[in-house]
Structures are given as C-alpha cells and as structure tokens.
C-alpha cells in the first residue's frame, strides 16, 4: 500500500509541474502578441506623475515641532527639513519655471554690495531654473561684469537717484511695477525683489516659489504681537492696529501679477501719504505689511531665508541669505 501511495504522489507532482510549465509558456505567448510600444514605461509614468503632483502636499509640516510651520489660513511657512529639494527642483524644471530677481544698487550701495550679491546669487539662487537679474542703478557703467551660468542673464536699467535714501526705498515700488508690466511678465513666471545689502549663503531654491511670498522678519519672528513695529499712525495709509506676522521688505516675491499688485498698493499708499504730509514709520515696509494684512500671502519664508546675524539662532538650522554689515553713516544720504 505504501508503494502505491508513493506512486500516486509522484504522478500528482508531475502533473503540477506540467500545468505550471504550460501556464508559463502560454503567458509568454500572450505577451509576445502585444506591441512593445503599448507596454507601460516606468520613466514615462514617473514623469507624468511628477507633473501632476501638488508639491505643497508633500511638505512635512511635522518635521519642525519647535517652530510654526503653517499659518492660521493654512499657508506653509518654509523651514529646513520640511521639503524635498530634488522633488521641487525636478517639478519646476519640468514646468520650465522662470524667475526674475530685481535689485536696486544706487549711490554708494553699488560699490559696497552689488558684486557680492550677484556672485553669491550665482552660487545659490534658483539653480537649474531660468533666472534674469534686473539691476536698477544710477551708474550703469559701474555694474560689474560677471560670467553667468547657463539660462542666466542680467539686464541693467538706469534709474534716478533720489536725494534721500527713504525716497529711494519707497519709489522702487513704482519701478518694480512698471518693469513687471513692460518686460518681466513677458519673460518670467515669478519675480523676487531683494535688497542689495545681502549675501546668499546656502540653497535658495524652488521651494520658495509661490503665488504670493512674504518673508518673516528675523528680528521679530519670536516677538510678542505688541512689540511688532507696524505703523500705528491713523493718518497713514499703512496704519495697522495689529497683524499676523511682521514681514521684511528686504525680500518679497511671487507670480508677476501678485508682485505687481503689491507694488501698486504700496506706491499708491506712499503717494497718498505724501499728499497728506505723512511718512510711514518704516516707509515701504510699513505699506508692505499693510498689504499682506489685507491680502494674505500664500507662502511664508522662515528667517532662514533672510537672517540678520544678530538674533538668537536656536531654531535656525540653515542660513540661506544674510544681511551684510551695515555702514549707514557712510552709505546713506540724509
């Protein structure tokens, strides 16, 4: 009986092997009938998926428990550790995102800061994307010549030098608006406006791009609401009793239409104040804070993106842009 049982088991195993072999041969035959171009290609699927990704859905808002990573209106506050830089860059390169970087180098500021600003931007600002620098100056012939990287260009635009530094700061808003309308919007998707007395120190990449981008002021990001230096003069168009955050006018950006709207708002407020013999406490920065109070930014940059080298660095893991040493006594006109 045992010998018969062993024979039956052997026959059963042979039958199983025959079925498996036949099934494998049949599947190979079916696959051979399908044209190769009809089969899915992994790289094509990945590329399509990347284009459809909402990048901000990939942000890790819990990565930085010690700081605020999202506003009350759900706008992200970008900190190191929250984003995948390779994913952001890949998506924006695929979208062919392009960025204008505006900077004003007027009077002594050109010699003191412009070359450092531009050379450091070449090392760190929006690498891999098309970037156009717009340098506004009263001394076009003194703008340093730089060897720029691929997809990067520089345009120099002559502007008037005002007698007071406050007017230079405030009147840039009209120049920015006019240049967006006449040129930038035809060449770039995004525009960032920065002060020249700064230096890039680390990656300042595509994770910073958004519809309307505001910079949290490094000197006030831990400060209580009552100490924020809004303009509290009711006679000024920049008047605010309270706000959300205190934003720094040394850096703002976004899509062209949003930056133009901000610049127009600030310029109109400045001009109305002038007519009423009023000047906002912190000039264009006061008007910028009023704009972002009325029109909430869709993206906030943490102080990593504009650091002052003086404030407490407890929560700062990376410094991407720093304020250069200030020499107001020799650089500014009264």
Q: What is the mean pLDDT of residues 282-299?
A: 97
Give the span between the Cα atoms of 179 and 194, in whole angstroms: 15
Give the HSE-up count for residue 202: Cα atoms under 13 Å, Cβ half-sphere.
14
The per-residue pLDDT for 312 is: 81
Tell whether residue 285 is among the known ligand binding residues: yes
Convert the pLDDT of each residue in 178-208 to its tens digit.
Answer: 999 999 999 999 999 999 999 999 999 999 9
Convert the pLDDT of each residue in 136-145 to its tens digit.
Answer: 999 999 999 9
Long-range contacts of 68-72 (CB under 8 A, 24+ apart): 71/244, 71/245, 71/296, 71/300, 72/244
Q: Treating both helix axes as pointing N-terminal to C-terminal, what angle do 284-294 and 165-179 enclose, rounded to 10 degrees?
A: 50
pLDDT higher than threshold 70 for residue 11: no
Q: Burial letters for 182-195: b for 16+ Cβ neighbours within 10 Å, e otherwise?
A: eebbeebbbbbbbb
Which tokens is 208 given? 């910073």
DSSP 58-103: G--TTS-TTS--B-TT--BEE-TTSS-HHHHHHHHHHHT-EEEEEE
Tell whether residue 181 is among the known ligand binding residues: no
Give the span between the Cα atoms of 289 and 284, in whole angstroms: 9
The per-residue pLDDT for 311 is: 78
Which tokens is 215 given? 């910079």
Tell whether residue 143 is among the known ligand binding residues: no
3-class SS of residue 232: coil
Beta pairing partners, 252: 193, 214
The per-residue pLDDT for 6 is: 54
pLDDT band at 334 (very low <50, low <70, confident <90, very high): very low
Percent of the chain with pLDDT over 70: 79
Q: What is the mean pLDDT of residues 216-229?
A: 92
pLDDT band at 38 (very low <50, low <70, confident <90, very high): very low
Tell whether residue 167 is among the known ligand binding residues: no
The per-residue pLDDT for 46 is: 47
DSSP 101-144: EEEE--TTHIIIIIHHHHHHHHHHBSTTSEEEEEEEES-GGGSP
Active site annotation includes 181: no
Give the span between the Cα atoms of 76 and 69, in whole angstroms: 6
The per-residue pLDDT for 139 is: 96
Percent of the chain with pLDDT over 90: 73
- Which helix (H) or strand (E) segment holds residue 174: the answer is helix 165-179
Q: Choose, from 207, 279, 285, 304, the residue flagged as catalytic.
A: 285
The per-residue pLDDT for 170 is: 62
Tell whether residue 247 is among the known ligand binding residues: no
Highest mean pLDDT (candidates 52-56, 63-67, 224-228): 63-67
pLDDT band at 27 (very low <50, low <70, confident <90, very high): very low
Task: For the beta carbon of residue 308, count every other beta carbon within 10 angstroms.
Answer: 14
DSSP symbol at 313: -
Q: What is the mean pLDDT of residues 86-108?
A: 97
Q: What is the mean pLDDT of residues 42-64?
A: 71
Tell whether residue 109 is among the known ligand binding residues: yes
pLDDT higher than threshold 50 for residue 329: yes
Which tokens is 281 given? 């406490």
DSSP symbol at 181: I
Tell whether residue 69 is among the known ligand binding residues: no
Nearest to 272 by CA among 295, 259, 290, 256: 290
Q: What is the mean pLDDT of residues 260-272?
A: 96
Task: For the beta carbon of residue 291, count every other beta carbon within 10 angstroms.
Answer: 21
The least confident of 107-121, 179-193, 226-240, 309-323 is 309-323
pLDDT band at 160 (very low <50, low <70, confident <90, very high): confident
Nearest to 304 by CA among 248, 253, 254: 248
Which tokens is 97 given? 């995102």
pLDDT higher than threshold 50 for residue 36: no
3-class SS of residue 290: helix
Mean pLDDT (the chain, rounded) = 86
The least confident of 82-86, 246-250, 312-316 is 312-316
Beta pairing partners, 156: 135
Q: What is the mean pLDDT of residues 79-91?
A: 98
pLDDT band at 47 (very low <50, low <70, confident <90, very high): very low
The per-residue pLDDT for 266 is: 96
Tell whether residue 102 is among the known ligand binding residues: no
Tell whether residue 178 is among the known ligand binding residues: no
Q: Could you name the CATH architecture of 84-330?
A: Alpha-Beta Complex (3.90)
């Amino acid at each position: 009986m045992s010998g018969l049982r062993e024979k039956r088991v052997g026959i059963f195993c042979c039958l199983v092997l025959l079925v498996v072999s036949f099934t494998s041969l049949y599947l190979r035959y079916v696959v051979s009938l399908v044209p190769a171009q009809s089969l899915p290609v992994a790289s094509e699927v990945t590329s399509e998926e990347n284009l459809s990704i909402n990048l901000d859905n990939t942000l890790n808002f819990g990565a930085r428990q010690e700081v605020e990573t999202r506003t009350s209106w759900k706008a992200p506050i970008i900190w190191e550790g929250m984003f995948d830089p390779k994913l952001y860059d890949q998506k924006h390169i695929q979208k062919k995102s392009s960025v204008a970087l505006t900077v004003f180098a007027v009077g002594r500021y050109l010699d003191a800061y412009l070359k450092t600003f531009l050379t450091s931007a070449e090392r760190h600002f929006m690498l891999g994307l098309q970037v156009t620098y717009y340098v506004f100056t009263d001394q076009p012939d003194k703008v340093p010549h730089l060897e720029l990287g691929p997809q990067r260009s520089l345009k120099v635009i002559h502007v008037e030098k005002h007698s007071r530094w406050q007017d230079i700061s405030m009147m840039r808003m009209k120049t920015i608006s006019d240049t967006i309308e006449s040129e930038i919007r035809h060449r770039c998707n995004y525009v960032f406006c920065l002060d020249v007395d700064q230096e890039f120190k680390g990656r300042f990449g595509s994770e910073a791009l958004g519809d309307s981008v505001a910079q949290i002021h490094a000197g006030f990001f831990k400060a209580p609401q009552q100490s924020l230096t809004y303009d509290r003069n009711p006679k000024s168009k920049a008047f605010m009793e309270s706000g959300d955050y205190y934003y720094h006018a040394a850096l703002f950006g976004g899509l062209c239409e949003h930056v133009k709207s901000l610049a127009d708002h600030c310029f109109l407020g400045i001009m109305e104040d002038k007519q009423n013999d009023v000047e906002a406490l912190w000039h264009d920065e006061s008007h910028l804070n009023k704009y972002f109070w009325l029109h909430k930014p869709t993206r906030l940059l943490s102080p990593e993106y504009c650091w002052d080298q003086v404030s407490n660095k407890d929560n700062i893991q990376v410094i991407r842009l720093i304020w250069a040493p200030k020499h107001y006594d020799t650089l500014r006109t009264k």
